[in-house]
Structure 1
Amino acid sequence: MNRRTALTGLMTAPLAGGASKASGGPSFRPSERDVRDVRDVLIRGAATVLTMDPKIGYGLLGEVHGADVLVRDRRVHAVGQGLDAPAGARLVDASGKLVMPGFIDVHNHLWQSSFRGGCSGQELDGWLDDCHVPVLDALTPEQIFWFVLLSCVDVLGSGVTTVVDWLAPMPYPMYVKYFAALDRSGLRFVVAASNDARDTRLVPRLNRELVSSCPRASLQVAGSAFMAALGQLRADYGAARDLGVMYHCHLLETGDQRRGDPVRALREAGALGPGTLAAHAVHLTVEEMALLAGHDVRVAHCPLSNMRLGSGIMRLPELHRHGVKIGLGQDGAANDSSDYFALMKTAVGLQRAVHQRADVHPRIPEVLYMATLGGAEAIGMDDRVGSLTPGKAADLIIVDPHTANFAPRRDWTSQLVLNGQPHNVSHVFVDGVEVKKDGQVMSVDAAETVARAERASRALHG
């Protein structure tokens, strides 16, 4: 596996363990939390609710003060003052706290917690060659389960409720363990999976046997955008279109990737459109920005990863002026942690530093929009998540501002981005189920997960 295939998913993975369910191969069973009854919830007396719906509250963030949020049948039922609790509903006191939609991470590689802190002096190619590739080649299904689960605990703790995870091809038993970890976590997840070069039926099989088994799971097709791989690009984009899902590729993360002429490859493959999500998009020309915007291509912005690897800084204000839909992504180990508050703050701060202006896009409300409804729009899920609009899935968080890093109150909206830290997220609900309560992740034994990940790391790295 070389640096390009590691990044873009062109390698050919062995298909060991690839027997179908009918022949006794690995199978997947959804978590009990998805099949049992879930109680209605009334979140009472929040000081501020950011609904992300201007029809409910005021401004871009749909802000409401002194309000309740009622969850019924796993969905947001109502936002308002003095709501009545249905019989048997659980009451959650949000006095003095903020309630908002959960964060949406539109580009990640959760398994990469397996080499956190590694290759810290490397740029992208060296990081891939010395950390990413050797670790991925050595991982076992059991090890990948614990590393993925470790990352899930981390992202949930930071208030993420939906994560898009980009996967290179891997043996089928690895996919089974990967899905098992994602399911156990309680996250809503989108798996961007790659077809094996020898088996174009792999992604449809994953969709049939794994994704369709979990109500919180969705699918994308992962691939590459290079002229040298134009045939594979056409096949992958065609597979995504046939399945009715998005196509997800890395695009111009570094300047030297221009040698592969990726934007031309997307154009010639007919893969420019709202069904394509392009990660990074750091080194686009003005003409390419206009081309992507004209075809409604969606973009994942990964500022912490780009900064860590010295890849460059996205021309975010220009993409915004072109009307491109953009969400925020953490991008695996190159993000170093899953602190979504740091991700938002960096997205704001980098542009201010480059432009030497404080009013440049994204301003504070705009980055909060990108983190929630904007992210949902980027991945085509804004009809289901991203705001507290009644009828949408009850994916929401409660933020406690009464801590040394957050207090005293002045402008809570700004403080969310500039002062917030993962420990301020006291509660997380995904699909109406409480997966973090009073600061503790409930869906996973965090101590056991850390211990098992440490054990797996010692086996990998010595």
Structure 2
Amino acid sequence: MNAPAPHHDQFAEDRPFVFRGATVITMDSAGVLEDADVLVIGSDIAAVGQDLEVPEGTLEIDASGGIITPGFIDTHRHMWQTALRGYGGDWALSQYFVFYYLNWGQVFRPEDIYAGNLLSALESVDTGVTTTLDWSHGLRTPEYGEAALQAFREIPGRFVLGYGNYLGAPWEWANSPEFRDFVTKNFNAPNDMLGLQLAFDVPGAPEFPERGAFEAARELGLRVTTHAGVWGATTDTAITQMYDAGFMTPEICYVHSSSLNPQSYQKIAATGGTVSVATESEQSAGQGYPSSWAIRKYGIPASLSMDTSVWWSADFFSAMRATLSADRSRDHLEAQARGETIVANRLRAEDVLHMATMGGAKSLGMEDTIGSITPGKRADLVLIKNDESPAMTPILHPYAHVVYQAGTADVHSVVVNGRVVKYQGARIGLPLAPIRDTVAASVEYVRSQLGEQAWQDGMHPELAPDEEIENPYKYTEGDAHVVAQGSE
């Protein structure tokens, strides 16, 4: 007889629970386990296997017909911009730079950072993204940083603050007494639920002033995340400067890396760096062709990211699908240009799911803690199960099913650090309404600062007219074929 479905109030903090009868994609050497169980005790995965013996009083959850994966890991997301969700949906990258960097970045207050982060953090855990690196380049003072952290303290996810300031010089703010006090106050003890990195870019100025920021990171023992290989902005010059100065190490994540030369990719590979691939961003904004196709040839470990909701969502199913499709499309185009045909796809569904889980864990230096369903690791889990969805039956190829068939509507349960934060498609104790009101107030303020004309102009960038190509063909009288003009 099946156990009754648990209610939300049965998920006591100290009560073990077990998912029963799922297809478990472990992302470790065990591979895929059919009709298997996952036992969670405290914050950890206690056991994985079939017909597990469990402690008395363990809560039983029916996961049959579902797939359990490790929690997804987003390694590059400008969370504060989520309050302007979709505002820049028609932007090119230059319009993003103009809006934030040149015109309006200074109007955002700490409370606007808080509002965007709060909504983004809720969206992350709701969609199964259990760990998010917040590439927070809107932090003009430590007060802004405190606002970002406050949002994380209110949402039960795993977060890494990538501290940045696009209106300030990183070699200055990273060495300021105020920033050092911020670090001491908030990160004075190891905490795998809340981490810190430095987030800054290297535009390639001849004097390489970013040296001071790298030295600060090294002194503080912090990893660095940097936008690299962004067409026309961060080029191979930056990679050369970093390499020659000895700052390229396994502790560096190179976001995008979409327009670098072979020597730069070889330097990243040789020094143990990782790349965060944000395919939807790269396809739309213009950093270069999504880099998974290039970096896999050099053996560079990859993770996935969604960049910003000012354009895109936090949907990691979309991230995996877009990456696999873009990589395969490039493979076909390159082969066809040589008069050849691709007969086997090199990038597989398993590979992009690895990027979304273990790849992210490696990028954050947390591969021993999260990223796979391995006993002893933290219990960050996603149960993908929807008994009423035609797309969830049959499950024949689990990796491909996650990537190409499932979606955010099929996220049944989400577990972060052993805590069930979503069950049967509903968040537990995380209502949207107060967050929605906070975001609405932020949007109203920002809109008032821009003025209505600038607000509308920013959302609808003007386009230069396309130059039409004259068509030499026309329909003839009385029949359906076309002829070249002048050949009648």
Is this a same-fold pair by TM over 0.5? yes
Quote how far apart the aligned CAs of 1:204 are.
Answer: 3.5
Instruction: Identify the residue that residue 154 of structure 1 maps to in structure 2.
Output: 123
Pairwise CA RMSD? 2.3
Matches within 5 A, 1:408-447: 408-409=393-394, 410-447=396-433
1-side partners of 2:281 and 2:296: how far apart?
20
**Stretches of structure 1 lacking an aligned partner (at least 5 in a row):** 1-36
Q: Given the superposition, is the C-alpha separation of residues 403 and 123 from structure 1 closer, same or farther in structure 2, using an over 3 Å criterion?
A: same
Instruction: Identify the residue that residue 149 of structure 2 maps to in structure 1.
Output: 179
Quote how far apart the aligned CAs of 1:408 are.
Answer: 2.6
Of the structure 1 ranges 267-276 and 137-146, higher mean CA displacement relative to structure 2 is found in 137-146
SS in 1 for 2:140: coil
Are the counterparts in 1 of residues 259 and 287 from structure 2 also a CA contact under 8 Å?
no
Deviations 1:330-362 (A, max 9, x none): 111355111110010000011122222474443
1-side partners of 2:51 and 2:441: how far apart?
50
Q: Given the superposition, is the C-alpha separation of residues 359 and 100 from structure 1 closer, same or farther in structure 2, using an over 3 Å criterion?
A: same
Is residue 96 of structure 1 aligned with residue 65 of structure 2?
A: yes
1-side partners of 2:104 and 2:155: how far apart?
23
Matches within 5 A, 1:384-423: 384-404=369-389, 406-409=391-394, 410-423=396-409
1-side partners of 2:307 and 2:423: how far apart?
26
2-side partners of 1:39 and 1:347: how far apart?
39
2-side partners of 1:358 and 1:218: how far apart?
44
Are the counterparts in 1 of residues 18 and 58 from structure 2 also a CA contact under 8 Å?
no
Deviations 1:170-226 (A, max 9, x none): 222221121011121111011111357255344433332223476510111122223
SS in 1 for 2:119: helix
Instruction: Identify the residue that residue 197 of structure 1 maps to in structure 2.
Output: 172
SS in 2 for 1:161: strand
Is residue 41 of structure 1 aligned with residue 27 of structure 2?
A: no
Are the counterparts in 1 of residues 422 and 428 from structure 2 also a CA contact under 8 Å?
yes
2-side partners of 1:135 and 1:282: how far apart?
27
Q: Given the superposition, is the C-alpha separation of residues 50 and 450 from structure 1 closer, same or farther in structure 2, using an over 3 Å criterion?
A: same
Quote how far apart the aligned CAs of 1:455 are.
Answer: 2.5
Deviations 1:277-312 (A, max 9, x none): 110100011121112111111111000111221332
**Stretches of structure 2 lacking an aligned partner (at least 5 in a row):** 1-11, 165-169, 333-341, 449-488
* Residue of 226, 250, 264 corresponding to 2:227: 250
Of the structure 1 ranges 365-374 and 352-361, higher mean CA displacement relative to structure 2 is found in 352-361
Instruction: Identify the residue that residue 21 of structure 1 maps to in structure 2.
Output: none
1-side partners of 2:384 and 2:184: how far apart?
37
Are the counterparts in 2 of residues 304 and 334 from structure 1 also a CA contact under 8 Å?
no
Instruction: Identify the residue that residue 336 of structure 1 maps to in structure 2.
Output: 312
Are the counterparts in 2 of residues 39 and 88 from structure 1 also a CA contact under 8 Å?
no
Q: Given the superposition, is the C-alpha separation of residues 361 and 265 from structure 1 closer, same or farther in structure 2, using an over 3 Å criterion?
A: farther
Deviations 1:125-175 (A, max 9, x none): 221212566553212222322221111121212110111111224222221
Q: Given the superposition, is the C-alpha separation of residues 297 and 460 from structure 1 closer, same or farther in structure 2, using an over 3 Å criterion?
A: same
Is residue 277 of structure 1 aligned with residue 253 of structure 2?
A: yes
Are the counterparts in 2 of residues 203 and 221 from structure 1 also a CA contact under 8 Å?
no
Q: Given the superposition, is the C-alpha separation of residues 135 and 178 from structure 1 closer, same or farther in structure 2, using an over 3 Å criterion?
A: farther
SS in 2 for 1:377: helix
Q: Given the superposition, is the C-alpha separation of residues 126 and 229 from structure 1 closer, same or farther in structure 2, using an over 3 Å criterion?
A: farther
Are the counterparts in 2 of residues 70 and 78 from structure 1 also a CA contact under 8 Å?
yes
Q: What TM-score, normalized by structure 1, do the two folds share?
A: 0.85
Q: Given the superposition, is the C-alpha separation of residues 337 and 413 from structure 1 closer, same or farther in structure 2, using an over 3 Å criterion?
A: same
Is residue 53 of structure 1 aligned with residue 35 of structure 2?
A: no
Instruction: Identify the residue that residue 241 of structure 1 maps to in structure 2.
Output: 218
SS in 1 for 2:377: coil
Deviations 1:228-275 (A, max 9, x none): 2755422222222222221111112224543x8211121133111101
Letter paired with 2:187: V
2-side partners of 1:422 and 1:135: how far apart?
33
Of the structure 1 ranges 124-133 and 76-85, higher mean CA displacement relative to structure 2 is found in 124-133
Matches within 5 A, 1:357-368: 357=342, 359-368=344-353
Letter paired with 1:240: A
Quote how far apart the aligned CAs of 1:122 are.
Answer: 2.7
2-side partners of 1:133 and 1:166: how far apart?
19
* Residue of 171, 183, 186 corresponding to 1:207: 183
Report sequence identity in percent: 26
Are the counterparts in 1 of residues 133 and 159 from structure 2 also a CA contact under 8 Å?
yes
* Residue of 70, 90, 93 corresponding to 1:124: 93
2-side partners of 1:111 and 1:423: how far apart?
24
2-side partners of 1:395 and 1:244: how far apart?
26
* Residue of 51, 76, 88 corresponding to 1:107: 76
Letter paired with 1:216: M
Quote how far apart the aligned CAs of 1:42 are.
Answer: 2.6
- Name the count of aligned residue pairs: 420
Quote how far apart the aligned CAs of 1:407 are.
Answer: 3.1
Are the counterparts in 1 of residues 293 and 331 from structure 2 also a CA contact under 8 Å?
no
SS in 2 for 1:227: coil
* Residue of 167, 180, 188 corresponding to 2:158: 188
Q: What TM-score, normalized by structure 2, do the two folds share?
A: 0.81
* Residue of 444, 447, 452 corresponding to 1:458: 444
Letter paired with 1:53: D
Q: Given the superposition, is the C-alpha separation of residues 238 and 153 from structure 1 closer, same or farther in structure 2, using an over 3 Å criterion?
A: same
Instruction: Identify the residue that residue 113 of structure 2 maps to in structure 1.
Output: 144
Matches within 5 A, 1:77-88: 77-88=46-57
Q: Given the superposition, is the C-alpha separation of residues 215 and 257 from structure 1 closer, same or farther in structure 2, using an over 3 Å criterion?
A: closer
- Give the ranges of 4+ consecutive aligned residues of structure 1 lying more than 6 Å apart after TM superposition: none
Is residue 378 of structure 1 aligned with residue 354 of structure 2?
A: no
Instruction: Identify the residue that residue 299 of structure 2 maps to in structure 1.
Output: 323
Letter paired with 2:119: L
Q: Given the superposition, is the C-alpha separation of residues 124 and 175 from structure 1 closer, same or farther in structure 2, using an over 3 Å criterion?
A: same
Q: Given the superposition, is the C-alpha separation of residues 183 and 230 from structure 1 closer, same or farther in structure 2, using an over 3 Å criterion?
A: farther
SS in 2 for 1:332: coil
1-side partners of 2:142 and 2:360: how far apart?
29
Are the counterparts in 1 of residues 83 and 119 from structure 2 also a CA contact under 8 Å?
no
